[in-house]
Structure 1
Amino acid sequence: MPDITPGVAAPAVDLPADNGNRFRLADHAGSSVVLYFYPKADTPGCTNEAKDFTDHVPAFRAAGAVVVGVSKDPVKKLDRFKARYGLQVILASDETDDVCERYGVGVEKSMYGKSYMGIERATFLIGPDGTVREAWRKVSVKGHAEAVLAALRG
Protein backbone atom coordinates (compact mmCIF):
# COMPACT_ATOMS: atom_id res chain seq x y z
CA MET A 1 0.00 0.00 0.00
CA PRO A 2 1.44 3.39 -0.95
CA ASP A 3 2.38 5.73 1.86
CA ILE A 4 0.84 9.04 0.84
CA THR A 5 2.13 11.46 3.46
CA PRO A 6 2.88 15.18 3.55
CA GLY A 7 5.73 16.15 1.26
CA VAL A 8 5.28 13.41 -1.36
CA ALA A 9 4.10 14.12 -4.89
CA ALA A 10 0.37 13.48 -5.18
CA PRO A 11 -0.39 10.53 -7.48
CA ALA A 12 -2.06 11.46 -10.76
CA VAL A 13 -5.86 11.52 -10.90
CA ASP A 14 -7.87 11.35 -14.13
CA LEU A 15 -11.44 10.20 -13.51
CA PRO A 16 -14.92 10.57 -14.97
CA ALA A 17 -16.90 13.02 -12.88
CA ASP A 18 -20.44 14.21 -12.36
CA ASN A 19 -22.39 15.95 -15.12
CA GLY A 20 -20.35 14.31 -17.90
CA ASN A 21 -17.10 16.00 -16.84
CA ARG A 22 -13.65 14.64 -16.04
CA PHE A 23 -11.51 15.51 -13.08
CA ARG A 24 -7.78 15.65 -13.76
CA LEU A 25 -5.49 16.68 -10.94
CA ALA A 26 -3.03 18.04 -13.53
CA ASP A 27 -5.67 20.56 -14.69
CA HIS A 28 -5.48 22.19 -11.25
CA ALA A 29 -1.72 22.78 -11.08
CA GLY A 30 -1.15 26.08 -9.29
CA SER A 31 -4.24 25.61 -7.12
CA SER A 32 -4.88 23.60 -3.99
CA VAL A 33 -7.07 20.50 -4.19
CA VAL A 34 -8.96 18.81 -1.39
CA LEU A 35 -9.25 15.20 -2.52
CA TYR A 36 -11.49 13.20 -0.24
CA PHE A 37 -12.33 9.52 -0.56
CA TYR A 38 -15.62 8.18 0.77
CA PRO A 39 -17.12 4.68 0.79
CA LYS A 40 -20.50 5.07 -0.90
CA ALA A 41 -22.76 7.83 -2.18
CA ASP A 42 -26.12 8.40 -0.52
CA THR A 43 -25.26 6.69 2.76
CA PRO A 44 -25.60 8.68 6.01
CA GLY A 45 -21.92 9.37 6.79
CA CYS A 46 -20.99 10.05 3.18
CA THR A 47 -23.98 12.33 2.71
CA ASN A 48 -23.11 14.33 5.82
CA GLU A 49 -19.49 14.63 4.70
CA ALA A 50 -20.48 15.84 1.22
CA LYS A 51 -22.96 18.32 2.69
CA ASP A 52 -20.35 19.64 5.14
CA PHE A 53 -17.82 20.18 2.35
CA THR A 54 -20.56 21.81 0.25
CA ASP A 55 -21.39 24.21 3.10
CA HIS A 56 -17.75 25.34 3.05
CA VAL A 57 -17.21 25.47 -0.73
CA PRO A 58 -17.26 29.31 -0.81
CA ALA A 59 -14.51 29.42 1.85
CA PHE A 60 -12.48 26.74 0.05
CA ARG A 61 -12.78 28.69 -3.21
CA ALA A 62 -11.77 31.92 -1.47
CA ALA A 63 -8.68 30.07 -0.19
CA GLY A 64 -7.88 28.93 -3.74
CA ALA A 65 -8.96 25.30 -3.48
CA VAL A 66 -11.30 22.94 -5.28
CA VAL A 67 -13.01 20.10 -3.38
CA VAL A 68 -13.33 16.68 -5.02
CA GLY A 69 -14.98 13.58 -3.59
CA VAL A 70 -13.97 10.16 -4.96
CA SER A 71 -15.88 6.89 -4.59
CA LYS A 72 -16.32 3.70 -6.60
CA ASP A 73 -19.91 4.64 -7.46
CA PRO A 74 -20.84 4.93 -11.16
CA VAL A 75 -21.22 8.47 -12.52
CA LYS A 76 -25.01 8.12 -12.89
CA LYS A 77 -25.30 7.44 -9.15
CA LEU A 78 -23.03 10.43 -8.43
CA ASP A 79 -25.24 12.67 -10.58
CA ARG A 80 -28.34 11.58 -8.62
CA PHE A 81 -26.51 12.02 -5.29
CA LYS A 82 -25.33 15.50 -6.24
CA ALA A 83 -28.78 16.59 -7.44
CA ARG A 84 -30.64 15.10 -4.46
CA TYR A 85 -28.64 17.10 -1.91
CA GLY A 86 -27.60 20.16 -3.98
CA LEU A 87 -23.93 19.26 -3.56
CA GLN A 88 -21.42 21.82 -4.79
CA VAL A 89 -18.31 19.62 -4.71
CA ILE A 90 -16.97 17.71 -7.70
CA LEU A 91 -17.79 14.01 -7.46
CA ALA A 92 -15.51 11.61 -9.34
CA SER A 93 -15.96 7.90 -10.05
CA ASP A 94 -13.15 5.39 -9.55
CA GLU A 95 -14.99 2.23 -10.57
CA THR A 96 -11.69 0.60 -11.65
CA ASP A 97 -10.16 1.23 -8.19
CA ASP A 98 -7.02 2.62 -9.86
CA VAL A 99 -6.85 5.95 -8.01
CA CYS A 100 -7.94 4.38 -4.72
CA GLU A 101 -5.03 1.96 -5.02
CA ARG A 102 -2.54 4.76 -5.79
CA TYR A 103 -3.67 6.67 -2.71
CA GLY A 104 -3.74 3.55 -0.54
CA VAL A 105 -7.36 3.95 0.57
CA GLY A 106 -8.58 0.47 -0.34
CA VAL A 107 -9.29 -1.49 2.83
CA GLU A 108 -10.83 -4.83 3.68
CA LYS A 109 -14.23 -4.42 5.29
CA SER A 110 -16.74 -6.86 6.68
CA MET A 111 -20.54 -6.83 6.70
CA TYR A 112 -22.80 -9.64 7.86
CA GLY A 113 -19.78 -11.94 8.06
CA LYS A 114 -18.71 -11.28 4.45
CA SER A 115 -15.40 -9.61 3.62
CA TYR A 116 -15.09 -7.16 0.74
CA MET A 117 -12.79 -4.39 -0.41
CA GLY A 118 -14.05 -0.91 0.31
CA ILE A 119 -12.77 2.64 0.65
CA GLU A 120 -11.29 4.05 3.83
CA ARG A 121 -12.65 7.53 4.51
CA ALA A 122 -9.54 9.66 3.89
CA THR A 123 -8.69 13.18 2.75
CA PHE A 124 -5.59 14.61 1.11
CA LEU A 125 -4.82 18.32 0.86
CA ILE A 126 -2.72 18.80 -2.24
CA GLY A 127 -0.81 22.05 -2.58
CA PRO A 128 -0.43 24.22 -5.69
CA ASP A 129 2.94 22.53 -6.38
CA GLY A 130 1.30 19.08 -6.59
CA THR A 131 2.65 17.76 -3.31
CA VAL A 132 0.57 16.45 -0.45
CA ARG A 133 0.38 19.08 2.32
CA GLU A 134 -1.78 17.10 4.76
CA ALA A 135 -3.27 13.62 4.92
CA TRP A 136 -6.15 12.49 7.12
CA ARG A 137 -6.86 8.76 7.50
CA LYS A 138 -9.83 7.05 9.11
CA VAL A 139 -11.70 10.34 9.03
CA SER A 140 -14.51 11.08 11.44
CA VAL A 141 -17.04 13.21 9.54
CA LYS A 142 -18.08 15.66 12.26
CA GLY A 143 -15.88 18.77 12.06
CA HIS A 144 -13.67 17.33 9.33
CA ALA A 145 -14.46 19.91 6.62
CA GLU A 146 -13.62 22.69 9.08
CA ALA A 147 -10.31 20.99 9.99
CA VAL A 148 -9.34 20.69 6.34
CA LEU A 149 -10.23 24.33 5.73
CA ALA A 150 -8.13 25.39 8.74
CA ALA A 151 -5.15 23.39 7.40
CA LEU A 152 -5.60 24.97 3.97
CA ARG A 153 -5.55 28.45 5.47
CA GLY A 154 -2.65 27.22 7.62
Structure 2
Amino acid sequence: MSRTSHIAIALAFLLGLAGPAAAELKPGDAAPDFTAPAYLAGEPFDFDLAKARADGPVVVYFFPAANTPGCNIEAHLFSEAIDAFKTHDTTVIGVTAGNLDQLAEFSSNTETCSGRFAVAADTDASIARSYDALLALKPEWSSRTSYLVSGDGRILAVHSDMSPDGHVKAMLDAAATAP
Protein backbone atom coordinates (compact mmCIF):
# COMPACT_ATOMS: atom_id res chain seq x y z
CA MET A 1 0.00 0.00 0.00
CA SER A 2 1.33 3.46 -0.89
CA ARG A 3 2.11 6.24 1.55
CA THR A 4 -0.81 8.22 0.13
CA SER A 5 -3.18 5.32 0.83
CA HIS A 6 -1.93 5.08 4.42
CA ILE A 7 -2.49 8.80 4.90
CA ALA A 8 -5.99 8.60 3.39
CA ILE A 9 -6.93 5.70 5.68
CA ALA A 10 -5.55 7.50 8.75
CA LEU A 11 -7.40 10.68 7.83
CA ALA A 12 -10.68 8.80 7.33
CA PHE A 13 -10.20 7.11 10.72
CA LEU A 14 -9.53 10.43 12.48
CA LEU A 15 -12.51 12.10 10.84
CA GLY A 16 -14.68 9.26 12.08
CA LEU A 17 -13.41 9.82 15.61
CA ALA A 18 -14.07 13.54 15.30
CA GLY A 19 -17.78 12.93 14.78
CA PRO A 20 -20.43 13.00 17.47
CA ALA A 21 -19.56 11.20 20.71
CA ALA A 22 -23.08 9.85 21.19
CA ALA A 23 -26.23 9.30 19.20
CA GLU A 24 -28.16 12.52 18.76
CA LEU A 25 -31.73 12.98 19.94
CA LYS A 26 -34.38 11.59 17.60
CA PRO A 27 -37.55 13.11 16.13
CA GLY A 28 -40.30 12.94 18.74
CA ASP A 29 -37.88 13.27 21.68
CA ALA A 30 -38.28 16.18 24.07
CA ALA A 31 -35.85 18.98 23.30
CA PRO A 32 -34.06 20.18 26.43
CA ASP A 33 -34.84 23.83 27.09
CA PHE A 34 -31.92 26.09 27.90
CA THR A 35 -31.00 29.68 28.59
CA ALA A 36 -27.56 30.88 27.51
CA PRO A 37 -25.59 34.08 27.00
CA ALA A 38 -25.81 34.99 23.31
CA TYR A 39 -24.96 37.63 20.71
CA LEU A 40 -26.90 39.09 17.82
CA ALA A 41 -24.97 41.48 15.57
CA GLY A 42 -22.37 41.79 18.32
CA GLU A 43 -24.88 42.77 21.01
CA PRO A 44 -25.14 40.53 24.10
CA PHE A 45 -28.45 39.16 25.40
CA ASP A 46 -29.77 36.02 27.09
CA PHE A 47 -31.29 33.48 24.70
CA ASP A 48 -34.14 31.40 26.14
CA LEU A 49 -35.25 28.45 24.01
CA ALA A 50 -38.65 28.13 25.73
CA LYS A 51 -39.43 31.79 24.95
CA ALA A 52 -38.20 31.45 21.36
CA ARG A 53 -40.40 28.36 20.84
CA ALA A 54 -43.45 30.41 21.77
CA ASP A 55 -43.04 32.19 18.39
CA GLY A 56 -42.75 28.96 16.37
CA PRO A 57 -40.18 26.30 15.50
CA VAL A 58 -36.51 26.89 16.32
CA VAL A 59 -33.44 25.54 14.54
CA VAL A 60 -30.85 24.80 17.23
CA TYR A 61 -27.65 24.13 15.37
CA PHE A 62 -24.51 23.11 17.19
CA PHE A 63 -21.11 23.94 15.75
CA PRO A 64 -17.64 23.16 17.13
CA ALA A 65 -16.03 26.62 17.35
CA ALA A 66 -16.42 30.19 16.15
CA ASN A 67 -14.05 31.39 13.45
CA THR A 68 -12.98 28.00 12.17
CA PRO A 69 -13.30 27.14 8.48
CA GLY A 70 -16.26 24.73 8.55
CA CYS A 71 -18.13 26.74 11.17
CA ASN A 72 -17.67 29.94 9.18
CA ILE A 73 -19.10 28.24 6.09
CA GLU A 74 -22.07 26.85 8.01
CA ALA A 75 -22.85 30.20 9.68
CA HIS A 76 -22.66 31.97 6.33
CA LEU A 77 -25.03 29.41 4.77
CA PHE A 78 -27.54 29.88 7.60
CA SER A 79 -27.21 33.66 7.24
CA GLU A 80 -27.95 33.48 3.52
CA ALA A 81 -31.07 31.36 4.22
CA ILE A 82 -32.47 33.33 7.15
CA ASP A 83 -35.27 34.93 5.09
CA ALA A 84 -36.41 31.48 3.94
CA PHE A 85 -36.53 30.35 7.59
CA LYS A 86 -38.58 33.44 8.46
CA THR A 87 -41.18 32.51 5.82
CA HIS A 88 -41.76 29.38 7.94
CA ASP A 89 -41.83 31.41 11.21
CA THR A 90 -38.65 29.60 12.23
CA THR A 91 -35.95 31.10 14.45
CA VAL A 92 -32.30 30.05 14.05
CA ILE A 93 -29.81 29.90 16.93
CA GLY A 94 -26.24 28.65 16.67
CA VAL A 95 -24.74 27.11 19.82
CA THR A 96 -21.06 26.47 20.52
CA ALA A 97 -18.65 25.80 23.36
CA GLY A 98 -15.59 26.66 21.24
CA ASN A 99 -13.83 30.04 20.98
CA LEU A 100 -16.41 31.77 23.16
CA ASP A 101 -14.26 34.91 23.36
CA GLN A 102 -14.90 35.36 19.61
CA LEU A 103 -18.71 35.00 19.58
CA ALA A 104 -19.55 38.72 19.60
CA GLU A 105 -17.41 39.32 16.51
CA PHE A 106 -18.58 36.04 14.90
CA SER A 107 -22.22 37.10 15.28
CA SER A 108 -21.73 40.28 13.26
CA ASN A 109 -19.00 39.32 10.76
CA THR A 110 -20.14 39.43 7.12
CA GLU A 111 -18.23 36.19 6.48
CA THR A 112 -20.27 34.34 9.12
CA CYS A 113 -23.62 35.32 10.71
CA SER A 114 -23.81 38.86 9.27
CA GLY A 115 -25.90 39.86 12.28
CA ARG A 116 -28.86 37.93 10.84
CA PHE A 117 -29.23 35.32 13.62
CA ALA A 118 -27.98 34.83 17.16
CA VAL A 119 -25.23 32.58 18.46
CA ALA A 120 -25.19 31.27 22.03
CA ALA A 121 -22.29 30.40 24.31
CA ASP A 122 -22.39 26.87 25.72
CA THR A 123 -19.92 27.78 28.45
CA ASP A 124 -19.44 24.26 29.84
CA ALA A 125 -20.76 22.16 26.92
CA SER A 126 -23.79 21.23 29.04
CA ILE A 127 -26.26 22.24 26.34
CA ALA A 128 -24.49 20.11 23.73
CA ARG A 129 -24.30 17.27 26.26
CA SER A 130 -28.07 17.44 26.86
CA TYR A 131 -28.59 17.16 23.09
CA ASP A 132 -26.02 14.35 22.68
CA ALA A 133 -24.06 16.63 20.37
CA LEU A 134 -20.45 16.41 21.59
CA LEU A 135 -17.30 15.75 19.57
CA ALA A 136 -15.69 12.39 20.31
CA LEU A 137 -12.10 13.70 20.17
CA LYS A 138 -12.84 17.02 21.87
CA PRO A 139 -15.84 16.45 24.18
CA GLU A 140 -15.66 19.98 25.55
CA TRP A 141 -16.85 21.14 22.10
CA SER A 142 -20.06 20.38 20.28
CA SER A 143 -20.35 18.33 17.13
CA ARG A 144 -21.95 19.73 14.00
CA THR A 145 -25.56 18.70 14.65
CA SER A 146 -28.74 20.60 13.77
CA TYR A 147 -32.20 20.16 15.26
CA LEU A 148 -35.59 21.59 14.39
CA VAL A 149 -37.51 22.02 17.64
CA SER A 150 -41.30 22.46 17.53
CA GLY A 151 -43.23 25.10 19.42
CA ASP A 152 -44.28 22.42 21.92
CA GLY A 153 -40.67 21.40 22.57
CA ARG A 154 -40.33 18.22 20.50
CA ILE A 155 -37.55 17.38 18.08
CA LEU A 156 -39.03 17.48 14.57
CA ALA A 157 -35.83 16.81 12.60
CA VAL A 158 -32.13 16.20 13.10
CA HIS A 159 -29.12 16.41 10.80
CA SER A 160 -25.70 15.38 12.10
CA ASP A 161 -22.74 15.61 9.75
CA MET A 162 -19.33 17.20 10.20
CA SER A 163 -19.64 18.66 6.71
CA PRO A 164 -21.31 22.07 6.98
CA ASP A 165 -23.02 21.80 3.62
CA GLY A 166 -26.26 19.86 4.25
CA HIS A 167 -27.50 21.42 7.47
CA VAL A 168 -29.37 24.40 6.04
CA LYS A 169 -31.21 22.34 3.42
CA ALA A 170 -32.18 19.65 5.93
CA MET A 171 -33.52 22.21 8.39
CA LEU A 172 -35.32 24.26 5.70
CA ASP A 173 -36.96 21.12 4.31
CA ALA A 174 -38.11 20.19 7.82
CA ALA A 175 -39.32 23.73 8.58
CA ALA A 176 -41.36 23.73 5.36
CA THR A 177 -43.32 20.70 6.54
CA ALA A 178 -43.44 21.52 10.27
CA PRO A 179 -46.88 21.54 11.85
Q: What TM-score, normalized by structure 1, do the two folds share?
A: 0.88
Structure 2 Cα separation of the partners of residues 61 and 46 of structure 1: 22
Q: Does 1:22 align with 2:43?
A: no
Relative to structure 2, which stretch is displaced further, 78-87 or 10-19? Answer: 78-87
Give the CA deviation at 1:41: 0.5
**More displaced, 3-12 or 38-47?**
3-12
* 1:91-146, Cα deviation, whole Å (9 max, x unpaired): 0000111111101111221xxxxxx3232100010011110001112242124212
Q: Of Structure 1 and Structure 2, which has the larger fraction of its residues in strand? A: 1
| Partner residue, 1:80 | 105
Residue aligning to 2:131? 103
Segments of 5+ residues of structure 2 without an aligned counterpart are 1-21
Which SS does the other structure have where 1:88 is aligned?
Answer: coil
Task: Specify the alignment match of 2:90 in structure 1.
Answer: 65
Cα distance, 1:83 vs. partner? 2.2
Secondary structure of the residue aligned to 1:124 is strand
Cα separation, 2, equivalents of 1:106 and 1:88: 25
Task: Specify the alignment match of 2:19 in structure 1.
Answer: none
Q: Alpha-carbon deviation of 1:151?
A: 1.4
- Pair member with larger Rg: 2
1:148 aligns with: 171
Which residue is equivalent to 2:151? 128
Give the gaps of 5 or more residues in structure 1. 110-115
